Structures are given as C-alpha cells and as structure tokens.
Amino acid sequence: MYLALDFPDYNKTKNFIERNDLQGVPVKVGMELFYKEGSKIINYLKEQNHSIFLDLKLFDIPTTVERAMHNLADFEVDFVNVHALGGSEMIKRAKSALQSKSSSNHETKLLAVTILTSMDNQIIKDDLGLSLTVNEEVLRLAKLSESSGADGVVCSVHEAAMIKELCDKKFKTMTPGIRLTKSQHDDQKRVATPKFAKENGSDHIVIGRSITQADNPKSAYDIALGEWS
C-alpha cells in the first residue's frame, strides 16, 4: 500500500511524515513534489527506508523517454511509470534504460498508465476521440504494455481482475483512486476501498487524501492498511 505524498514541498512532506509517525511506509511521489524538490525528497525518503513509487507518467518520443529513464534509474526506486498511450517503442526503450542500470541488488520496475482514474467513457470518447469503452481501452493498453516489456500497469481497481485474466499472473496492477468509505471522491471517478481492491486483484494500491486530509492521519492509515492486509 503506497501513501500518496501529494504535498507542495519538502518541508510539508517531512513534517507530515514525522508528525504522524509514518516513517518507513511505502510512498508515492508525484509530479508536484518531485518537480519542486527533485533528488532532495527522494534521498530523504530513501534514508528513512521508504519504498518509493515515482509517479511521473513519462510521455514523449522514445529517445527522450529512454534518456530520462536512464537518469531516473539512478534513484533506485521501486516503481516508475510511463503512459501506455506513448506506444510500444517508447515502453520498450524505457524498460531498456532501467535494465541498463539494474544490478543484482536492485531493478526498478516499469509500470505503464492505462486510462487515468479521472476519466470515464464520456471523456475518452469526447475528449480523446477513442471509440472503445474504458474497460476495452484499458485491456488493450495492458496487453500492449505487457508485450512491450513493462512489469505492470497503473489502472483502476475495477479493471484489475480483468487484467489478471488477460495477462500473465506476474504482471502487476497498481491501482490508485483508493478511498476509505467515508471519504469524498474529489476528481477521481473510478474509485474503490482498500478492501474492494484486495478482493478484485490489485497487487498494489495508492491511497492519498483519505489519509493526508484525515483528522487523524495515522489512525486512517492503520484502518486502510487493516482493510488491505
């Protein structure tokens, strides 16, 4: 279970972790925090023994993504990701860059984002011009990602079980959009509880606002972890 550190800077992140006694828990670092703090926040989290999912969703021409991933591999985090819509060659080059920096002690796993959990059938039809449904597009992109060398996908929990049936059992599903029962959905559309995620085949979950905006974040974290475990 990865805790989304959706904070604007190093100090707010550090204060939240230490104030709520969450040192060492697996965490997700996204664009907002990484673009502000870069290696500083990654090094701090590694020093505190946090497993890290670096959620940057790279999407560019294959050469650019390959070079960027070659640099990101030096952080030796657990997971990094690209957008599956970037295509097979981009995914292959990203994976190759990570493997070139891997060792017997560590290899960063590559995830490919299928369809964002903020999107639904209407959005992908009207805004993206895609003719398939969300479920159909997610499955298509999952198979593309697997055949291109990715270690797994980022998808909604509602698609995890279908992906498990379509792809190899070792192919991982990372599912964001996780909320505790009483939490608001905010800008996420395809959401679920930790318990539902576990029952529906998620290998890893990402949970953020239900914990970071709770009155008692440590208690909320323990509740979520209890449901997930």
Residue with tokens 């204060």: 15
Task: Single out the residue of 42, 39, 101, 91 nearest to residue 66, CA to CA.
Answer: 91
Phi and psi for 165 in degrees, rounded to 5? -75, -35
Closest CA to 204 of 226, 184, 176: 176
For the chain, the domains span: 2-228
- pLDDT digit string (tens) for the chain, length 229 residues: 999 999 999 999 999 999 999 999 999 999 999 999 999 999 999 999 999 999 999 999 999 999 999 999 999 999 999 999 999 999 999 999 999 988 878 999 999 999 998 899 999 999 999 999 999 999 999 999 999 999 999 999 999 999 999 999 999 999 999 999 765 445 555 568 999 999 999 999 999 999 999 999 999 999 999 999 8
Determine whether 184 is exposed, middle or buried from the number of CB atoms within 10 Å of its CB (0-12, 13-18, 19+): exposed
Fill in the amino acid letter for 112: A
pTM (2 d.p.):
0.93
CA distance 204 to 1: 6
By the 8 A CB rule, do 4 and 214 touch? no
Annotated active-site residue in 14, 36, 46, 57:
57
Q: Mark whether 57 is an active-site residue.
A: yes
Q: Does domain 2-228 have CATH number 3.20.20.70?
A: yes
Cβ-based neighbour number of residue 19 at 10 Å: 10
